[in-house]
């Protein structure tokens, strides 16, 4: 996107109220991450995001163990799921949040394909136990309805449009 940026990591509790809908969960956690910067940032735009995977109203976050990752991928195998990314832009104590949703259709994966992926890649830091840009995406995704970059973890097309709208409305003005 030709934007200068730096990455700053902060530990944030990613729990959420059980009453939230999937889209609300992703935005809630993205905003929670942005609030972690409230005291430290004065003149920079902070962008935070959170991606969740949702299948049949079940939220699949990051797996806790290798076995849990295998179970998640077996659940996704041969089915459609939604990938939802919540994004929060934070500037001068103002928050602007949005989300994007993509439908991802997995082909039926063999147990060998799933365990091979889990053993070679790092699924424990990925919602739904997979990265679409890795082997599982190359062999297991039949199609996507929506944004590929959203499935990667940041819907850059929508982010760009939101940033341009905020610039046009002088949201970032002093």
Is 5 part of any domain?
Answer: no
Average pLDDT over residues 28-36: 95
Is 4 part of any domain?
Answer: no
Is 14 part of any domain?
Answer: no
pLDDT(39) > 80: no
Is 173 part of any domain?
Answer: no
Of 12-26, 38-52, 134-148, the range with the lowest mean pLDDT is 38-52
Is 119 part of any domain?
Answer: yes
Q: Kindly report the CATH number assigned to the domain that includes residue 52.
A: 3.90.950.10
| Residue owning tokens 């002093």 | 174
Helical segments of 36-80, H only: 66-76
142-101-152-71 Cα dihedral, nearest 10 degrees: -70
Helix, coil or strand: residue 162: helix
The tokens of 44 are what?
A: 């920079």
pLDDT of 42 reads: 67
Average pLDDT, the chain: 92
Is 121 part of any domain?
Answer: yes
Q: Which domain holds residue 105?
A: 22-168
117-151 pLDDT, tens digit per residue, is: 999 998 888 999 999 999 998 899 999 999 999 99
Average pLDDT over residues 42-62: 90
Is 145 part of any domain?
Answer: yes
Does residue 13 have an active-site annotation?
no
Is 2 part of any domain?
Answer: no
81-93 pLDDT, tens digit per residue, is: 999 999 999 888 8
CA dist., res. 124 & res. 126, Å (int): 6
63-79 pLDDT, tens digit per residue, is: 999 999 999 999 999 99
Percent with pLDDT over 90 in the chain = 69
Q: How many domains does the chain have?
A: 1
Average pLDDT over residues 96-106: 97
pLDDT(51) > 70: yes
Which pLDDT band, with edges at 50, 70 and 90, does 169 fall under? confident
Catalytic residue among 43, 50, 56, 57: 50
Which pLDDT band, with edges at 50, 70 and 90, does 170 fall under? confident
């Amino acid at each position: 996107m030709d934007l200068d940026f730096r990455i700053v990591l902060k530990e944030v509790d990613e729990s959420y109220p059980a009453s939230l809908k999937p889209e609300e969960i992703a935005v809630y956690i993205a905003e929670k991450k942005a609030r972690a910067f409230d005291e430290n940032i004065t003149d920079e735009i902070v962008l935070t995001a959170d991606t969740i995977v949702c299948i049949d109203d079940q939220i699949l976050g990051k797996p806790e163990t290798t076995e849990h990752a295998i179970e998640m991928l077996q659940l996704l195998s041969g089915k459609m799921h939604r990938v939802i990314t919540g994004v929060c832009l934070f500037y001068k104590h103002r928050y602007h949040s949005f989300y994007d949703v993509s439908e991802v259709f997995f082909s039926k994966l063999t147990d060998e394909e799933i365990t091979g992926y889990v053993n070679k890649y790092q699924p424990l830091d990925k919602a739904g136990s997979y990265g679409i840009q890795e082997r599982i995406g190359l062999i297991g995704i039949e199609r996507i309805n929506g944004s590929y970059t959203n499935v990667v973890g940041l819907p850059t097309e929508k982010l760009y449009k939101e940033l341009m709208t905020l610039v046009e409305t002088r949201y970032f003005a002093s």
